[in-house]
Structure 1
Amino acid sequence: MPMLFGNRSITTSSTVLATRNLVTGEPNINGEFAVNATCRDIVISQRDPLPLETLSKENSDVFNKINNIAKTLEKYFKKPQIIDYIYENGEVYVIQSNNAQLTAPGRFRAAKDMVDSGIITKAESLNNFEPADVAQLLAPSLTNAEPTPFCKGIPSGKACVVGKVCLTNESVLEAAKKGESPIFFKKSIASTDFEALMASSAVVTNIGTDYSFVSAVTRLFRKTAAIGCEGLIVDLENNVVKCGSNTLNVGDKVTVTGTGSVLVDEQELFNPEKHEDEFAKEVLTWADEVRQDKINVFTIADTSSEVQKAVEIGSDGVGTLSLEPFFEGDDRRFVTDVIDPTNEEGVNSFETHLTSKLKEIFSSIGSKAITIRLFDPELTSYLDKPMELAKEIGVLRAQKDRDGDNFASQEELDSKIAELDSMKKAHRANPAIGSRSIRLLVARPELMNAELKSILNAAKEARGSGADPHTRILIPYVSDYREVSNLMKQFEALSLEIGEKAKIGIEIDTPRACLTTAKLAELTDFLIFSVPLLTNVTFALDRTEAEKQLLETYKEKKLLTNVYNGVQASVSELMKICVQEAKQTKTECEIGLFSEEFHNPKVISHYSELGINSFICKAPAVPVARLCAAKTLIESQ
């Protein structure tokens, strides 16, 4: 028969404690104790334990002993601990000690304190974090003030979650399979509920403490929860949940917050653009110290507010700023003006508009690097539909025939005829592989000249106003070095004329560019891979269309997984060839990469091993990428 510590006599007491507050991470022991009970009784809530503060008053000697042991074990294991103790006949026995699972804010607070105390180094601390810890900093939050909760418990994950009430394991699994968001309400959670717990979007229980199974699991997997909600009754017979005078039915919408509150109905949520956790900010500065001058993390941006956000969230600058957003809505006319041969002021209006927009951008970036991506889409996306334009021309010609010499709209007719001619020349059946990007600029030198001139003038004007932009220009969709050579001649002449410099880079989007990098690297300062675009061309797919049906069909037939997730061997091999050729040609050539996979440290590690030292991602992923980049460097040392 196994020996059970803790119930030998009425004077024996058991204690379960954490070396830190599991919610906030504060450095003071927290726990519960019970007389004539086992530690397991406390964990599974079979006994009503007393708070550890009571033990400190009733038996200070025992309290001081376990407090000293707790500090010793935390220093030894270098992580916050949950420890089971038994006090018997004047002696304290340690039954077990395990790594504690804290909330995301608690992890950052504990890390800062443990580094300051010399228990662990900054590098060791960073290695203890997972990407999900950082991702939770920007998790969905309540838009408005929190209303009176239906019930409230101990929190776990930081995200606010909206879903429907489910009371059984089967209903949770069924709802999750349908793509719904099940909120699992149960009196208590045991290990047999693990599958349903993991399938749920959030968990709400009546029984549970900081030290129970459900707390450990939900915090381990960063899952939102409200644990140990006082007064919560789960009525399986009537398919309802009660708390006080309030009742919820199965299927009702609820919102579970990151503070452990359960709110009736679907509450409005928003994704914060930046976090205010001071401890997390400091931890991420440690990550920046590790990757400084080794790995850069940039973000993409389209507006001056997004550029400002890039600075605030700790990116090293803007890795890609596209010009297309500056020509939306009524501003589309600037594009049609610049290619209209009858519009002599078209180029000037285009340059004035773009220079104004970019000056605002350069003024927002401070002294960080910013990469302007040249015009990418086909012109047809900016021109009116051919049929509509042809009808308008037909109407004007009919009016001309009717009015003869009195026709007053000849200028408008000529302009529309010229626009239709331009459209016919620009039209392609496949816009994904048509006259776009560098090909468009070669065919339309007036557009290329206007873009380059606007960028340089904007940078010069911003510099004159006190800014210090580090300007980089990115040429997308290059497949031949002669395309770049043609643009470089125009750029160098303009740079000399305007008196403003910028670095020139190439976006590697095609297999041919990967295989001819040696010549491309000679002409440019940096290279950037666009993993989604390179994957498109390598697999001859269009992502938008492929993910709607084709890839799902291939997955069902076990022919191909989603090629846009993770690292694809064929795409990676092309990149490897490209990097090797670039480094052989120009050892100091900076090589960057845009991807949506930087939440995974293994992805950054893989690309770093290829020789890529700059990573570009969307703004919400920047904090995660900063951590992952640092972890990659630490693990490689």
Structure 2
Amino acid sequence: MPGGRHLSSPNGASLAHTIRDAVQRALAGGGAEIAEAVLAVPADELGTFLHADFANGDGRTLLTTALGASPGAASGIIVLSADDALDAADEGKAVILVRNETVPDDVLGMQCSKGILTTRGGLTSHAAVVARGWGIPAVVGAGEIVIDDAGLHIGDLLVPPGTEISIDGRTGEVFLGGADTSVVEAPAELQALLDWADRIRAGATVPVAVRANADNAADAAHSRRMGAEGIGLCRTEHMFLADDRLPLVRRFILTDDPTEERAALADLEAAQEADFEGILREMDPMPVTVRLLDPPLHEFLPSLERLVVAEALGELDDDGRHELAAVRRLHEVNPMIGTRGVRLGVVKPGVYQMQMRALLRAMAAVTKQGCTPDVEVMIPLVVDPREMALARTWVADACATVGYTGAIKVGAMLETPRAALVAGELAEVSDFFSFGTNDLTQLMFAFSRDDVGSRLIPEYLRADLLDADPFDSLDQVGVGRIIRQACSSARDARANIKIGVCGEQAGHPESAKFLVACGVDYVSCSPYRVPIARLAVAQALLENGSVEPAALDVIASDSAVRAQ
């Protein structure tokens, strides 16, 4: 649970009462009462017990309202760069990192911040996704704010760096000044309710698991504490952003010497092997889906804009000019649909082979320690079966290199309309699928997820042109239709293929219910959304008749025995 005093609130107290009452009635009844208890609690309100809120509503001056991208309340002084965030945090200060938008280079500064505020971006922007994964409050798309070296300009008001502000990642509000925060303490009965939800999901005619998106051992451990039954998305690129990894990645990208490139890859391989070992140990024996490198390489270099400005000011040395040349060489007009994912593996095959060797060696190492790793390798941005067939050869080559003779599952991430439309053909060369609903939504709507969140979508919602933000709640009419069609086509081609969903919408209760109806085997979401998804999926299975009364009676009988 986040820090803060444990207090009650009107909403939290009401929810706690609902949970206690529902569980106590169920314990005195049978299977039908168990089902009633699980259905009685609004899944999306469980976040009340997971995130801090302001302790009172008085004495704060509202500066602006934008998009609440990661729930929770936080106060801290304004810092304008990741380096400043790290320096202030080292001094024991609470900070709010304020940026126009965050990039992978900012991750260390984000990690030490109490909250994140950006002037651009939407619910699936870099800042939003990273903040939700770590449970850090975030507000994005605050377009009324203009940032320069003097601080934040909001109309005629200047708020300089070092000023204390507060943000509410649920409502999107930004306030001047600090504020006390509190966390509503969950009732003891919540654990019983979630245990019932887990047993309902496991005992359904078609069981549905809840996994988490986690990228390191600490995230994996937290996911497990939240009740995740595996990792549905391990984003290996996040492992490259640590202090000791980023220089290795840049060395690999910038060198023109094949020998130096191989040396950089060897160092990265050792680092990734250690990362994979930690994750596999934490999740043993649960499944872990490892997505090979997805973003374009330029994301690991300083931004083109920053380097061009430094060049104009005469601040670049020889290394800086070399970096600028590389960034210009790698620059793409639309990198989101450029050289990334499996395409990166085609033009730079050494990267994927390095990652596979590291993963296989990590599997061997934890096996010697008594673990039984269950690993699935996911290939991102696949649009054609031939790409998938080629990727399988990379995996086979890595297995041969390290002497691995066991079976390993290789699957595709479906995040484009074409991939969804050829799901039947892809199923013939894939052991599993996972829908990446963030990018799939972006491409289906032709919405840039980093641009429309704060500008276009609010206007569309006000004009009743959208029922909901499709990056928050899955669009069932368009995106949902193509997911349902892809599931059907895939199972026609390969009846036992495993299908999951790992976009942010998977943790939204209504979206989770729709995905259950599509027949997915698991949903995967940010760790802090796992309890919500556990309950929402169980509710969906009860509502669509996928749970036999006899299974509920067994749960009730076991609960009665434990209560005695």
**TM-score band w.r.t. shorter chain:** 0.5 to 0.7
Where does residue 273 of structure 2 map in the other structure?
355
Letter of the structure 1 residue corresponding to residue 381 of structure 2: Y
Letter of the structure 1 residue corresponding to residue 225 of structure 2: E
> Matches of 1:479 and 1:501 in 2, distance apart?
24
Gaps of 5+ in 2: 1-7, 69-164, 167-176, 546-564
Does residue 460 in structure 1 map to residue 392 in structure 2? no
> Matches of 1:271 and 1:323 in 2, distance apart?
32
> Matches of 2:377 and 2:536 in 1, distance apart?
27
Equivalent residue in structure 2 for 1:297, among 176, 190, 210: 210
C-alpha change, 1:332 and 1:609, in structure 2 (3 Å) is same
Q: Deviations over 1:525-548 (max 9, x none)?
A: 111111111011112221121112
> Matches of 1:448 and 1:596 in 2, distance apart?
25
TM-score between the two structures when normalised by the length of structure 2: 0.66
Where does residue 116 of structure 1 map in the other structure?
27
Matched-pair contact (CA < 8 Å) for 1:475–1:505: yes
Where does residue 234 of structure 1 map in the other structure?
none
Matched-pair contact (CA < 8 Å) for 1:131–1:599: no
Equivalent residue in structure 1 for 2:427, among 515, 521, 529: 521
Q: Deviations over 1:596-622 (max 9, x none)?
A: 345654322222222222111111111
Equivalent residue in structure 2 for 1:563, among 447, 464, 470: 470
Equivalent residue in structure 2 for 1:591, among 488, 499, 521: 499
Q: CA deviation at 1:180?
A: 13
Q: CA deviation at 1:266?
A: 5.8
Larger deviation, residues 286-295 vs 492-501: 492-501
Q: CA deviation at 1:554?
A: 3.7
Larger deviation, residues 282-291 vs 326-335: 326-335
Q: Deviations over 1:3-24 (max 9, x none)?
A: xxxxxxxxxxxxxxxxxxxx9x
> Matches of 2:238 and 2:413 in 1, distance apart?
19
Matched-pair contact (CA < 8 Å) for 2:240–2:249: yes
Counterparts of residues 7-156 of structure 1 (less than 5 Å): 103-118=14-29, 121-140=33-52
Where does residue 313 of structure 1 map in the other structure?
226
> Matches of 1:383 and 1:138 in 2, distance apart?
35
Q: CA deviation at 1:449?
A: 0.7
Structure with larger Rg? 1
Counterparts of residues 504-543 of structure 1 (less than 5 Å): 504-543=410-449
Where does residue 483 of structure 1 map in the other structure?
387
Letter of the structure 2 residue corresponding to residue 281 of structure 1: Q
Does residue 364 in structure 1 map to residue 282 in structure 2? yes
Gaps of 5+ in 1: 1-22, 24-100, 141-158, 167-173, 182-252, 255-264, 397-411
Counterparts of residues 596-615 of structure 1 (less than 5 Å): 596-597=504-505, 601-615=509-523
The Cα RMSD (Å) is 3.6
> Matches of 1:178 and 1:423 in 2, distance apart?
35
Q: Deviations over 1:350-402 (max 9, x none)?
A: 11111112111211112111111111111112235675798999976xxxxxx
Where does residue 248 of structure 2 map in the other structure?
334
C-alpha change, 1:496 and 1:179, in structure 2 (3 Å) is closer
C-alpha change, 1:180 and 1:525, in structure 2 (3 Å) is closer
> Matches of 1:363 and 1:513 in 2, distance apart?
33
> Matches of 2:453 and 2:26 in 1, distance apart?
45
Matched-pair contact (CA < 8 Å) for 1:592–1:616: yes
Does residue 633 in structure 1 map to residue 541 in structure 2? yes
Does residue 378 in structure 1 map to residue 288 in structure 2? no
> Matches of 2:223 and 2:466 in 1, distance apart?
36
Equivalenced residues, count: 413
Letter of the structure 1 residue corresponding to residue 421 of structure 2: L
> Matches of 2:277 and 2:423 in 1, distance apart?
33
Q: Deviations over 1:536-582 (max 9, x none)?
A: 11122211211121223444555445332433211112112211110
Q: CA deviation at 1:461?
A: 1.1
> Matches of 2:274 and 2:466 in 1, distance apart?
47
Equivalent residue in structure 2 for 1:547, among 430, 442, 453: 453
C-alpha change, 1:465 and 1:390, in structure 2 (3 Å) is farther
Where does residue 322 of structure 1 map in the other structure?
235
Letter of the structure 2 residue corresponding to residue 613 of structure 1: D
Q: Deviations over 1:311-343 (max 9, x none)?
A: 111111111111122112452122233343410
Matched-pair contact (CA < 8 Å) for 1:601–1:631: no
C-alpha change, 1:513 and 1:178, in structure 2 (3 Å) is closer
Q: CA deviation at 1:442?
A: 0.9
Q: CA deviation at 1:297?
A: 0.6
Matched-pair contact (CA < 8 Å) for 1:338–1:446: no
> Matches of 1:437 and 1:365 in 2, distance apart?
25
Matched-pair contact (CA < 8 Å) for 1:338–1:350: no
C-alpha change, 1:307 and 1:179, in structure 2 (3 Å) is closer
C-alpha change, 1:322 and 1:165, in structure 2 (3 Å) is same
C-alpha change, 1:177 and 1:541, in structure 2 (3 Å) is closer
C-alpha change, 1:350 and 1:601, in structure 2 (3 Å) is closer
> Matches of 2:462 and 2:19 in 1, distance apart?
42
Matched-pair contact (CA < 8 Å) for 2:22–2:37: yes
Q: CA deviation at 1:421?
A: 6.8
Where does residue 49 of structure 1 map in the other structure?
none
Matched-pair contact (CA < 8 Å) for 2:413–2:435: yes
C-alpha change, 1:462 and 1:393, in structure 2 (3 Å) is farther
Matched-pair contact (CA < 8 Å) for 1:370–1:471: yes
Matched-pair contact (CA < 8 Å) for 1:288–1:626: yes
> Matches of 2:67 and 2:392 in 1, distance apart?
53
Matched residue SS, 1:544? coil
> Matches of 1:179 and 1:554 in 2, distance apart?
15
Does residue 269 in structure 1 map to residue 177 in structure 2? no
Does residue 164 in structure 1 map to residue 58 in structure 2? yes
Matched-pair contact (CA < 8 Å) for 2:474–2:511: yes
TM-score between the two structures when normalised by the length of structure 1: 0.59
> Matches of 1:359 and 1:619 in 2, distance apart?
20
Letter of the structure 2 residue corresponding to residue 567 of structure 1: L
Counterparts of residues 393-472 of structure 1 (less than 5 Å): 423=327, 425-472=329-376
Matched-pair contact (CA < 8 Å) for 1:337–1:347: no
C-alpha change, 1:322 and 1:114, in structure 2 (3 Å) is same
Q: CA deviation at 1:484?
A: 1.2
Q: CA deviation at 1:111?
A: 3.3
